[in-house]
């Protein structure tokens, strides 16, 4: 079966950047920076980008390109006993993170509609938790399904199905060529609009004012490396898959640098849109900004709607732009997750693309339903914590060990240099073999230490074990079971396809 390929270099980059840029870039980075030294946080963040983000991106691009396959096929070519990792990455992302991520994008659709008449009213927290989510009293109380959320989630899965159903060059590539320029334009509008508001300067001061005393705090460095790792879609299996669609001659190093820098620059600039509006709201309420700044869903669905309601003019237009921006950011990441697992199943079982996408999207929607229930926010919080804090970090750590020590970093480096105009030297080997694994191991140990010291979120231990740990373990078992089935021997023979020696323009 002939493998799909990108029709252009720009299309590949748009898709890769679209995968990396997601909801977290908008509602997480600025808060992390604010908490960890403001402008001073950019120092460890930049160091993390150079020593972990770009090296790991080169690793994933290089592996997918050299082995010419999804993450599952790529690791199977390294060694059949490592194939399970190539399956586990897209499986726990697709059948874990994507289950609730699609629901959050659905929330954004609902709120884009609510923006027209500012339906959330004066008490945005009560509206979000009670009127919109109908939040139950605790995680064990499931309650009923929220029809409005169920419908918006079904809509999101329908859009992603429509995009992924077609060939890579006709579906994902074309969609991202529309999504990404539109995302950047909408974000720019939010930044310019926000910076013209009264109090914006004070908000930006809180965002950017450097607190150099925090640079000496190891937790700040851990936060910087964690943010870099999570925001670039590393450990998802996505970038391995996307690179497998590149022609033989592709500048992998340049592509990795462009993807990483663009993503991080977007995160930084999106902070201007967030903190300028928070500065305005703080001035309107007559309180310091630290009393209004939040992160995650609370920022997007409680704090920001209140700020939108307080805007001096065209509130509904600003709200519509903000939530459409979130929808586009979410969709561009969502379709990449679907593609990573779709490609893995097509590679191994030689399935027809359209049928595979049909099954995966249907399974994805059905799995998402549990997060549309009245206890969905609790479930989301627990699953997100365990899959992101442990699944992704562990996957990245094992990825570095297998590629750095088993395949040998030198072997992959020589391949990358053979097809790229920009070259990497032996320092890259040191990052992959020693520095990045050490950082990821430190993050993992730090999180485990916190977990045993104080159970996450105040949830009962049985819920954390059954929902959080259980979700990680179940996806791992599925990955191992799938990896056991045999391959077509021809699939594992060759790294490159001889028919594609051209360099895309």
Flag whether pLDDT at 498 surpasses 50: no
- Which own/partner contact pairs does 162-170 have at CB distance under 8 Å and 24+ positions apart? 163/331, 163/335, 164/335, 164/338, 164/339, 164/342, 164/357, 164/361, 165/353, 165/354, 165/357, 165/358, 167/4, 167/353, 168/4, 168/5, 168/6, 168/245, 168/339, 169/4, 169/5, 169/6, 169/7, 169/11
At 136 the three-state DSSP class reads coil
pLDDT for 432 equals 95
Flag whether pLDDT at 379 surpasses 50: yes
Flag whether pLDDT at 231 surpasses 80: yes
> Mean per-residue pLDDT for 453-478?
88
Separation CA 9–CA 120 (nearest Å)? 43
Domains of the chain, each with CATH number or no CATH? 15-492 (1.20.1740.10)
Flag whether pLDDT at 371 surpasses 60: yes
- Counted residue by residue, the chain has a size of 505
User: Around Cβ 409, how many Cβ atoms within 10 Å?
Assistant: 23
Separation CA 68–CA 71 (nearest Å)? 9
> Mean per-residue pLDDT for 14-19?
95
Q: 38: left (phi > 0), else alpha (psi -120 to 50), else beta? A: left
User: Around Cβ 245, how many Cβ atoms within 10 Å?
Assistant: 24
DSSP string for 359-395: HHHHHHHHHHGGGGBTTHHHHHHHHHHHIIIIIIHHH
pLDDT for 496 equals 57
pLDDT category, 99, cuts 50, 70, 90? Answer: very high
pLDDT for 229 equals 81
pLDDT category, 393, cuts 50, 70, 90? Answer: confident
pLDDT of 122-138, one tens digit each?
999 999 999 999 999 98
Dihedral (Cα; 136, 138, 143, 145), 10-degree rounding:
70
pLDDT for 216 equals 87
pLDDT category, 155, cuts 50, 70, 90? Answer: very high
Structure tokens at 97: 């993170």
- Which own/partner contact pairs does 285-291 have at CB distance under 8 Å and 24+ positions apart? 289/202, 289/203, 289/206, 290/206
Of the two residues 293 and 339, the one the predictor is more confident about is 339
pLDDT category, 1, cuts 50, 70, 90? Answer: low
Of the two residues 119 and 24, the one the predictor is more confident about is 119
pLDDT of 261-312, one tens digit each?
999 999 999 999 999 999 999 999 999 888 888 878 888 899 999 999 999 8
pLDDT for 499 equals 46
Of the two residues 329 and 490, the one the predictor is more confident about is 329
DSSP string for 265-324: HHHHHHHHHHHHHHHHHHHHHTS-GGGT---THHIIIIIHHHHHHT-SS-HHHHHHHHHH
């Amino acid at each position: 079966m002939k493998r799909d390929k990108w029709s252009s270099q720009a299309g590949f980059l748009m898709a890769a950047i679209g995968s990396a840029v997601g909801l977290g870039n908008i509602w997480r980075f600025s808060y992390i920076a604010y908490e960890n030294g403001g402008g001073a946080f950019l120092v460890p963040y930049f160091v993390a980008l150079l020593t972990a983000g770009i090296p790991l991106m080169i690793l994933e691009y290089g592996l997918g390109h050299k082995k010419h396959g999804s993450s599952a096929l790529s690791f199977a070519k390294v060694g059949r006993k490592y194939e399970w990792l190539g399956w586990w990455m897209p499986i726990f992302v697709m059948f874990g993170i994507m289950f609730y991520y699609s629901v959050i994008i659905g929330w954004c659709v609902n709120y884009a509609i609510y923006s027209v008449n500012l339906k959330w009213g004066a008490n945005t927290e009560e509206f979000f938790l009670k009127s919109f989510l109908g939040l139950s009293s605790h995680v064990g109380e499931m309650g009923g399904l929220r029809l409005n959320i169920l419908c918006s989630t079904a809509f999101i899965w329908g859009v992603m199905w429509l995009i992924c159903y077609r060939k890579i060059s006709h579906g994902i590539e074309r969609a991202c060529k529309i999504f990404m320029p539109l995302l950047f334009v909408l974000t720019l509008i939010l930044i310019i609009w926000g910076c013209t508001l009264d109090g914006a300067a004070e908000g930006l001061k809180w965002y950017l004012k450097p607190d150099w005393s925090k640079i000496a705090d190891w937790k700040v460095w851990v936060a910087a490396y964690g943010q870099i790792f999570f925001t670039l879609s590393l450990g998802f299996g996505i970038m391995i898959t996307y690179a497998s669609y590149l022609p033989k001659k592709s500048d992998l190093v340049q592509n990795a640098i462009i993807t990483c820098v663009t993503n991080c620059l977007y995160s930084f600039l999106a902070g201007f849109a967030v903190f300028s509006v928070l500065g305005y709201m703080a001035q309107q309420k007559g309180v310091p900004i630290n009393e209004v700044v939040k992160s995650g869903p609370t920022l997007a669905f409680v704090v920001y709607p209140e700020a939108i309601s307080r805007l001096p003019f065209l509130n509904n237009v600003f709200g519509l732009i903000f939530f459409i921006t979130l929808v586009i950011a979410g969709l561009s990441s969502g379709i990449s997750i679907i593609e990573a697992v779709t490609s893995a199943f097509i590679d191994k079982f030689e399935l027809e693309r359209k049928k595979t996408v049909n099954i995966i999207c249907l399974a994805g929607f059905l799995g998402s339903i549990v997060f549309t229930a009245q206890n969905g926010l609790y479930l989301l919080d627990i699953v997100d914590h365990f899959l992101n804090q442990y699944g992704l970090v562990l996957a990245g750590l094992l990825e570095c060990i297998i590629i750095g020590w088993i395949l040998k970093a030198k072997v992959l480096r020589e391949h990358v240099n053979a097809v790229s105009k920009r070259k990497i030297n032996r320092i890259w080997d040191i990052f992959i073999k020693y520095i990045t694994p050490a950082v990821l191991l430190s993050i993992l140990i730090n999180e485990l230490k916190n977990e045993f010291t104080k159970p996450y979120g105040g949830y009962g231990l049985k819920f954390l074990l059954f929902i959080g740990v259980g979700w990680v373990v179940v996806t791992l078992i599925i990955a191992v079971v799938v990896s056991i089935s045999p391959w077509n021997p021809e699939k594992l023979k060759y790294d490159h396809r001889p028919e594609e020696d051209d360099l895309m323009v």
